[in-house]
Chains A and B, each alone.
Chain A
Amino acid sequence: MEKSKKREIMDIEEMKRNWQQMELRMDKIEEENQKLIARLKKNKAMGAKQRLMVSYFRMAIICIVSPVWIFLLEQEAYVGKILEIYYVLFFVALSAVNFYIWYFMKLNDYKTMSVKDALIKSYEIELLCKRGKLVGYILGLPLIVLLMCALYKAGIIEAFTGGCVGLIIGGAIGSIVNLKNKKMLREMRLALEEELAETDDDNC
């Protein structure tokens, strides 16, 4: 028993020695350092988090300008004041959600956080994004149905077709952005769940 225990300790210590003596080389990466530094100096290189932030910021801006479309449509077909207000409010809400996510990400700088805090904040960001998406779906689906009905009733085939095309293009862009973000965020969450659970256990 004692011998076995000694052997186990030795293994861990041996592991430690091996690790300390281990020299990793990544020649190709070294060569790429200079290129990366040149891009960093020109502020052209972006990290993954920054790319995600840019994507949310872009969505927020698109949502802000989107209500313009309903006023352009008004010249072709009147869809009703209530629907117009609903449409504007929907995009304002969506824009606010995207801005809030962007701001939350901006506030949380992983560079200055502890590992534990970085894990927790990443998890919070994912939850926030999911909630934002839920708000989008809850408000968006009735709006689309009502809008298409209004266009159909107006009997202007061009406006209805325009609405359908807009719906398809908007849906496609939204889906692509959502899928990309969802993938990024899912990866984050998977990495976090078990660590967070254990951290909580220890704190109890």
Chain B
Amino acid sequence: MVDKESIFLDVIGKNKQIIYKVCYMYAVDEDHLKDLYQEILINLWQGLDRFRGDAQISTWIYRMSINTCITQYRRNKQNVEMLPLEMLLNLPSEDDNRMESIKQMYQLINRLNRMEKAIILMWLDEKTYDEIAEVTGLSRNNVASRLRRIKAKLVEYGKE
């Protein structure tokens, strides 16, 4: 019989990029990012026993991670500057253009509110409207209309 620790480590190992990206999207600095990550891990550990497999594991992890981030208080709200992005990205140092583009993308997304971030986050990871609706609790149509608005907002922010 496989123990909880092995299952947990396996789940974390396979989905750590989802957790990182969600934390990254909601964190205001590196310390906050670590707090969020730890909080998500605690919640995943506690919730693992109740995961019945009705949803995809990645959808479940999205739900847990986003809910943890949106209900988590910030220890240091004054610091709303960007994260030291370069330190976290696994990019070759010569890939400056891509780095710049990702930086810009992060800055644009960072201006969205938490629900909008949750929606765009899943859309960027190619989740379907139904999956986004399931995690957020919005209707499919609502997700679609919000996504349209979010994209328009991002384009608008990009022009500024």
Measured CB to CB, the residues of A under 8 A from B are 8, 11-12, 14-16, 18-26, 28-29, 32-33, 36-37, 40-41, 45-49, 110-119, 122, 183-188, 190-192, 194-195, 198-199, 202
Q: B82 on the interface (CB 8 Å rule)?
A: no
Contact A184 B73 (CB under 8 A): yes
- Please tell me which one of the listed residues A21, A25, A190, A195 contacts residue B115 in the complex, with CB atoms under 8 A apart: A195
**15 sample A-B contacts, Cβ–Cβ < 8 Å, listed by A number:** A19-B102, A22-B102, A24-B89, A26-B34, A29-B34, A29-B38, A36-B41, A45-B42, A47-B43, A114-B63, A114-B138, A115-B137, A119-B70, A190-B77, A202-B138
Produce 1/0 per residue, B87-110, CB < 8 A to A. Answer: 011110000001001100100100
- Please tell me which one of the listed residues B5, B24, B115 contacts residue A115 in the complex, with CB atoms under 8 A apart: B115
Closest residue on chain B to residue A111 by CB atoms = B47
Question: When A and B form their complex, which 4 residue pairs have the shortest distance between CB atoms, in order from nearest?
Answer: A114-B137, A187-B73, A116-B137, A23-B90
Task: Give the shortest distance, in Å, between A35 (CB) and chain B (any CB).
Answer: 10
CA gap between A177 and B33 in the complex, in Å: 25
Q: B142 on the interface (CB 8 Å rule)?
A: yes
Contact A20 B102 (CB under 8 A): no
Contact B37 A19 (CB under 8 A): no
- Please tell me which one of the listed residues A20, A115, A192 contacts residue B135 in the complex, with CB atoms under 8 A apart: A115
Cβ–Cβ < 8 Å partners of B126 in chain A: 16, 20
- Please tell me which one of the listed residues A32, A111, A198 contacts residue B50 in the complex, with CB atoms under 8 A apart: A111
Contact A46 B42 (CB under 8 A): yes
Measured CB to CB, the residues of B under 8 A from A are 5, 8-9, 12, 17, 20-21, 24, 33-34, 37-39, 41-43, 45-47, 50, 63-64, 66-68, 70-74, 77, 88-91, 98, 101-102, 105, 108, 113-116, 118, 123-126, 134-138, 142, 145-146, 151, 154-155, 158
Closest residue on chain B to residue A52 by CB atoms = B73
Contact A24 B24 (CB under 8 A): yes
Contact B20 A24 (CB under 8 A): yes
Task: Give the shortest distance, in Å, between A15 (CB) and chain B (any CB).
Answer: 5
From known contacts A47-B39, A111-B64, infer whether A33 and B12 are also in contact, taking CB-CB under 8 Å: yes
- Please tell me which one of the listed residues A25, A29, A187, A199 contacts residue B37 in the complex, with CB atoms under 8 A apart: A29
Contact A37 B5 (CB under 8 A): yes
Contact B145 A202 (CB under 8 A): yes
Cβ–Cβ < 8 Å partners of A16 in chain B: 123-124, 126
Closest residue on chain B to residue A198 by CB atoms = B115
CA gap between A49 and B71 in the complex, in Å: 9
Cβ–Cβ < 8 Å partners of A194 in chain B: 113
CA gap between A113 and B47 in the complex, in Å: 12
Cβ–Cβ < 8 Å partners of A188 in chain B: 71, 73
CA gap between A48 and B32 in the complex, in Å: 13
